[in-house]
Amino acid sequence: MPFRNLLISLRLGFSYGTGFLSKLALAASLLLLNAGCSKQPAETPESQTDPRFVGSQQCASCHQNEYQIWRGSHHELAMQVASEATMLGDFSGVEFEYFDTTTSLFKRDGAFMVRTENAIGEPQEFEISHAFGVVPLQQYLVDFPDGRKQSLPFTWDARPEGDGGQRWYHLYPDEYVGPGDPLHWTAQYFTWNTACAECHSTNLKVGYDVDSDTFDTTFDEISVGCEACHGPGSLHQQQAEAKQFDDAFGLSVDLDDRSTSAWVMNPNSGIAERSEPNLRKQQPESCGRCHSRRGVLTENYEYGKSLSDTHRVSLLEENLYHADGRILDEVYVYGSFVQSAMYAAGVTCTDCHDPHSGELRAGPNPNDTCAQCHLPSKFAAVAHSGVDVGNCVDCHMPATTYMGVDDRRDHSFRIPGAGEAASHYGSAIAAGRSTNANDQLAAAVAKQEFPAIARATQLSLISPPAGAAEMDAINSSFGDQDPLVRIGALRALASVPAEIRGLSGSHLLRDSVRGVRVEAAFAFIEQRDLLPLEDARVYAGAIIEYRDSLMVTVSSPDSAVRLAELESHLGNSDSARRFYEHTLRLDPTFASAHHAFGLFLVRAQDHENALVHIRTAAELDPSNSRYAYVYGIAANSLGRSDEALRILNDAWIRFPDEFDIGYALATVLRDNMEIERATAVATELKSRFPSNPTAVALLQELSISE
């Protein structure tokens, strides 16, 4: 589900230097970029014979057993056309009260209907086109004329009545989410095309048009079919018909993580061990496409690649995970599983789950699944925990309830309380979230026994001013075998002063993983004219990948504002303005977009309109001290000193620890010849920041003026 805090604060600036050969290579490769386009390769005969999607029905002719197991699974029923057979909810004319609004759910001429509040707060009838999911809840989609499918917030609890189910409920029962709120059902975060569709259908093409803000979304199969996991099947089908298979059986990805290995019980530890190490781990990377919290880097998913090659995986971020890595928000398994000792030992998805039914391999009792690798005589005993064990998962995979009724189990398989230890990787993450803990974070990054996603998170938490010790940790992480760690290291560069940072890590512009190259393109955007020749030659390609990754999700304000910043950086002012305006059409309440657009307009010498957007940002997000500061400075620069003084004085009261605000207030008072008031502010500034030489110098200057 979407969450409220989806703000981006990307401040990009210009940096120029020498390095003639690098500039020459970069300039040549940026010619197409500055035109705002990328060259596409000509179609070849080979590309015309690329594998195509053929549909699960075609697979059934040879794989009848797997097909029958898949039928009725959550994957097959992920999305269905609305019909008497698929709709589980009560549409008998029931009414649902939500704060001061009434929603009616009924049928008319065989169609399933809802009468509810529309985008402008008026009651309107809508026809439901699709059912979304099955148990423990079922949601419903409404088609809009612009190609969007919007998910209703009124959800059917499909659990048995005895468990509290068979009822309608609202996803946000404790707060009124009305028109204009980004979480209203008609708004962007409830748009199926971008928020849900990739993981509830097969071979999705979003088909978003920026200029018209419309969708022409297509998919090859309405469900999560065979080819959603195995890739397009036409070559496999052709080879089967010819009775002649190549080494890959005509498939795009090999999901056999078990291969020739077996799990062999160690009688001493009571835990099974793989007879051969799992070096591939392809299943978590493939399943993680949907079973992870992530963003999309490319519309054309590439089967068999690292997840970081096609998606931007979320690290252990504060709004998603507890500091020790336990699940907090709905994060869909991958980020938890890759933290686990099981993952490190080579356990893969199908060791526990049947890939076609989605059910546990050993049956509905989870203890039977655990017993495959953990001797019950040792672990299903009172001696193990001191109490009657019950279900292993209740201790080692505690559940969190999402969307009101959906219990999801943590897949980090941790020992209860382990995250509280000072030696746990969560200790450094907790410190980094609350204060500057660079020493602790740098030391933790070096511990190879920590999971890669934890070390990547620790790197991303290094905060300014980072010094040589932190740079050593970052440099050592550039060569890590896990792309998440390399990505974390690139994010950490922003905290390092330019004189220490140099161009360390620029070789990652040539990394084998797209997600790393995209991160590097952003990390070195201010130093692109200083790059070594070898890196300068590939920089334009990395920027194109970065731009393309944002275009995939440009229907979201987050990506649109990033695109605007990118185009501004590249000198494409018209494109930048287009994407800023597009962002604010999508979400007029996006404070950071108003702020960024205001600064863009300042650079464009459009000062009056710049002030409008800078003011709007400060009003939309009064908790942001920087917005208030910039608003005061902008008003003063336009000669509105009275307005500037009011803004800065109010901000100084609200943000007493912000030196820049106090200094700006004192200097504006000085420039307005209000020396006594300026001296009072400067005195207070020196008292709050006694070691700051600028405060001392200002007070001395004012004493001379008096």
Q: Tens digit of pLDDT for each residue in 588-645?
A: 999 999 999 999 999 999 999 999 999 999 999 999 999 999 999 999 999 999 999 9
pLDDT at 270 over 80: yes
- Whole-angstrom CA distances from 443 to 421, 476, 656 are 16, 12, 33
Task: Specify the DSSP class assigned to residue 278.
Answer: -
Q: Decide: 239 and 249 in contact? Cβ < 8 Å.
A: yes
Q: Tens digit of pLDDT for each residue in 215-229?
A: 999 999 999 999 999
- Whole-angstrom CA distances from 131 to 69, 357, 360, 458 are 21, 20, 25, 41
Q: What's the rounded mean pLDDT across residues 424-445?
A: 97
Phi, psi values for residue 158, rounded to 5° = -90, 0
pLDDT at 506 over 90: yes
pLDDT at 8 over 60: no
Output the pLDDT for position 705: 61
pLDDT at 695 over 60: yes
Q: For residue 14, what are the contacts with CB-CB under 8 A and spacing of at least 6? A: 526, 569
Q: What's the rounded mean pLDDT across residues 61-88?
A: 97
Q: Decide: 595 and 630 in contact? Cβ < 8 Å.
A: yes
Q: What's the rounded mean pLDDT across residues 131-160?
A: 97
Q: Which residue matches tokens 């939309």?
A: 620
Quick one: pLDDT band at residue 78, thresholds 50, 70, 90? very high
Q: Tens digit of pLDDT for each residue in 329-353?
A: 999 999 999 999 999 999 999 999 9
Q: For residue 329, what are the contacts with CB-CB under 8 A and spacing of at least 6? A: 3, 293, 319, 320, 321
pLDDT at 63 over 90: yes
Q: Tens digit of pLDDT for each residue in 571-587?
A: 999 999 999 999 999 99
Secondary structure in 3-state letters for 307-344: HHHHEEECCCCCCCECCCCCECCCCCCHHHHCCCHHHH
Query: Which residue in 148, 146, 156, 229 sits closest to 196, CA to CA?
Result: 148
Is 0.85 topped by the overall pTM? yes
Rounded distance between C-alpha atoms, residue 313 and residue 285, angstroms: 11
Rounded distance between C-alpha atoms, residue 691 and residue 668, angstroms: 22
pLDDT at 136 over 60: yes
Q: What's the rounded mean pLDDT across residues 407-414?
A: 96
Q: Tens digit of pLDDT for each residue in 93-104?
A: 999 999 999 999
Rounded distance between C-alpha atoms, residue 383 and residue 553, angstroms: 52
Q: Decide: 22 and 532 in contact? Cβ < 8 Å.
A: yes
Strand runs (DSSP E) across 37-119, as ranges?
79-81, 94-98, 101-108, 111-117
Output the pLDDT for position 702: 82
Phi, psi values for residue 355, rounded to 5° = -70, -20
**CA 170, 175, 179 angle in degrees (round to 5)?**
80
- The structural domains of the chain, with segments of one domain joined by +, span 69-215, 263-420
Q: Which residue matches tokens 């005993």?
A: 381
- Averaged pLDDT of the chain: 91
pLDDT at 512 over 60: yes
Quick one: pLDDT band at residue 472, thresholds 50, 70, 90? very high
Rounded distance between C-alpha atoms, residue 702 and residue 663, angstroms: 12
Q: What's the rounded mean pLDDT across residues 250-254?
A: 95
pLDDT at 175 over 60: yes
414: left (phi over 0), alpha (psi -120 to 50) or beta: beta
Rounded distance between C-alpha atoms, residue 343 and residue 288, angstroms: 13
The two tokens of residue 235 are 């070559």
Output the pLDDT for position 44: 35
Quick one: pLDDT band at residue 510, thresholds 50, 70, 90? very high
pLDDT at 60 over 70: yes
Secondary structure in 3-state letters for 88-109: CCCCCCEEEEECCEEEEEEEEC
Q: What's the rounded mean pLDDT across residues 118-128?
A: 97
Q: Tens digit of pLDDT for each residue in 178-211?
A: 998 889 999 988 999 999 999 999 999 999 999 9
Phi, psi values for residue 593, rounded to 5° = -70, -40
Peptide bond into 45 cis (omega under 30): no
Q: Tens digit of pLDDT for each residue in 276-293?
A: 999 889 999 999 999 999
